[in-house]
Amino acid sequence: MVVSRSRTDFVHLSEVWEAEAERWIQWVRTPGHDSYWQFHRDQFLRLLPPPGRQTVDIGCGEGRLARDLKDLGHRVVAIDSSPSLVAAAREFDPSMDIRWLMLPLFRWRTRA
C-alpha cells in the first residue's frame, strides 16, 4: 500500500489495517507459509499466565490468537480497530467476544 501524504501528516494505523484487511485475512488463513504456526504461537503462549482469568487480545486482527487462547481455556475479549478484521474474526467464531474499538493512541507518521 502506498500512502500519499506529506511528511508531517499522520495516518491512524486502523486506516492502514482496514485498507489491507482483505489481503491480510487471505495471507493469514493460507496454510503453510506463516511462521505463527511453526515458530511463534507456542513460544508466545508459554509466556502467558494459565487460563482462568480474563485475557484481552488488543489488536486481534482476524482472531487467530484469540481463538487459540479460547481453545486453551482463556476467557478472551478481543479488540481491533479495523471493522473488516473484527467482522472476519466474528464470522470465524461467532461465540467469541470480539469488539471494534477505535484507539486513537496508534498513529503512524508517514515518510515522504
Give the model confidence (pLDDT) of 30-73 as tens digits. Answer: 887 778 888 889 999 999 999 988 999 999 999 999 999 999 99
Long-range contacts of 88-92 (CB under 8 A, 24+ apart): 88/21, 88/25, 88/62, 88/63, 89/60, 89/61, 89/62, 89/63, 90/63, 92/62, 92/63, 92/67
Strand 54-58, strand 10-12: pairing: unpaired
pTM score: 0.78
Task: For residue 77, name the pLDDT band (cuts at 50, 70, 90).
Answer: very high
The structural domains of the chain, with segments of one domain joined by +, span: 10-109
Q: Count CB atoms within 10 A of the CB of residue 72.
A: 13
10-109 CATH: 3.40.50.150
Q: Are 108 and 10 in contact (CB under 8 A)?
A: yes
Q: Are 92 and 66 in contact (CB under 8 A)?
A: no
C-alpha cell at 46: 508459554
State the pLDDT at residue 7: 45
State the pLDDT at residue 34: 79
